[in-house]
A and B are shown apart, each in its own frame.
Chain A
Amino acid sequence: MRNILRFLAKYSTILFFVLMQAISLYLLFNYNNFQQSALFSTANRLNGWFFTIEESVYGYFNLRENNESLLRQNNELELRIANLEFALHEYTDSTKIPLLRIKESEEFSLIPARVIQNSVIHYRNFITLNVGNAEGVKPEMGVANADGIVGVVSLVTNHYSVVIPVLNRDQRFSCKLKNINASGSLAWDGFDRRFAFLEEIPPYVAVSKGDTVVTSGFSAVFPEGLLVGTVEDYKVGDDANYLRLKIRLSTRFDALSNVRVIRFKHREELKKLEEQATL
């Protein structure tokens, strides 16, 4: 007994170090379990508060880019209104059939949000938003801004939520080439924040540089046809069975500020159905 105590006293520092290191590595390698735990993330109340203050300062730095993006969006909307009014005019004059079958607004609704914390430099980047359960945000909802897709909600507390963006090596997004309808999965290699890679495209597909890539709509995360980026370059993948396309992302991840969370209204129903189908 005395020997054990003497041993413990002699090596107490090393034992303590091993204990602390074990706790650290346990946290690190059980990371996915802790994604559900707000304590260890920026979604907890205290951190949310810190980053809200930080954002109120940094928000100014991106004003120019955001302004440009808003202007572009404004132009686009004005153009659409003009087109619609023109079409409406045509229809009301001749046949008086009610127009404007806006399918999107029946299936999807948007929750406006502000980015209060954002990183682009790590292999696994995260974004924190200032909306949470109180505003109706749920995990697995898509997030996009006027330029293109941003990511998917992973963790939600009452007033904050953490988003896994495209710039996270662990997350893949189902996307397709707009004009030829070939779909694949979008992944990031952890290197350049401007580019991601669209993998699993069959090699017989006729891809050309500059092709538009949009979301496929295969999941309840994003509706079909949201802009992702354009094809920058392409080559045959490692096993020659697939093409690997380099995609220039349309979203500027280092200047994110205003985003929208996309709520798919029949999500619960779809999930239930899919669960039943797999049973």
Chain B
Amino acid sequence: MTRYINPILWFLGLIGLQVFILNNTHFLGVFLPIVYIYALLRWPPNTSPSLVILLGFLLGLSVDVLTNTPGLNASATTLIAFLRYPTLRLFVSKDDLGSRIIGETTLANGAFWKYTVLLVFIHHATLLILEAFSFSNIFLLILKIPVCTLLTLVFIFAFERINGKKDARD
């Protein structure tokens, strides 16, 4: 039970960070990092897939309720919650995974970053396309997806520095 306390704290902390601080920052006017999904990426790997999907949905919906965008973040986050396990298995063998933590220091050969980059990209692409819901300003959309992904990855890199030491101890 205790090993769920840390992920839950990240869950709540990241929603707060996203809505109250990061949504007020505007890098070059139109780009923003979307960091709350880090809580979902880090969630312990041996959780039932349906529970992970439910968590993803609730995570997205919490952000939606606080930003007046019902369903937008929920949809994108539910998608990556569903894709999380298959993506993880793409880079890590079942035996290696066991009940370990998903983190930079615990997964070998940079698997964590491959997994993170892929999921963050899918999430941002889904979110931004759904938000625009038209391809009229396609240039801005094409620019937004990689730049926002990059910004988010910078934040996740920083979060991994916070978590890394603790992971190594566990």
Interface on A for B, CB 8 Å cutoff?
A: 12-14, 16-17, 20-21, 23-29, 31, 34, 39-42, 44, 47, 50, 54, 58, 119-124, 126, 162, 189-193, 254
Asked if B64 is at the interface (CB within 8 A of a chain A CB), the reply is yes
Pick 18 A–B contacts, CB within 8 A, sort by A: A17-B78, A20-B53, A20-B56, A21-B82, A23-B71, A24-B61, A27-B71, A27-B74, A40-B70, A42-B65, A42-B67, A47-B66, A119-B23, A122-B131, A123-B131, A124-B69, A126-B68, A191-B30
Q: CA of A34 to CA of B78 in the docked complex: distance in angstroms? A: 20
Q: A17-B78, A121-B30 are known contacts. Are A40 and B65 too (CB-CB below 8 A)?
A: yes
- Min CB–CB distance B35 → chain A (angstroms): 15
**Once A and B bind, how many residue pairs between them come within 8 Å at the CB atom?**
98
B137 touching A121 by the CB < 8 A rule?
Answer: no
Known: A58-B24, A119-B23, A192-B29. A28 touches B72 (CB 8 A): yes
Q: Which chain B residues numbered 107 to 164 have a C-beta less than 8 Å away from chain A?
A: 130-132, 137, 140
Taken together as a complex, chains A and B put the C-alpha atoms of A124 and B165 apart, in Å, by 41
In the bound complex, what is the Cα–Cα distance between A35 and B75 (angstroms)? 18
- B50 with A13: CB separation less than 8 A: yes
Cβ-defined partner of A21 (8 Å) among B66, B68, B79: B79
Residues of B within 8 A of A (CB): 20, 23-24, 26, 29-30, 32, 49-50, 53-54, 56-57, 60-61, 64-72, 74-75, 78-79, 81-82, 130-132, 137, 140
Compute how far the CA of A193 lies from the CA of B75 in the bound complex, rounded to whole angstroms. Answer: 27
**Contacts A21-B79, A41-B65, A123-B131; A27 near B50 (Cβ below 8 A):** no
B82, A28: Cβ atoms closer than 8 Å: no
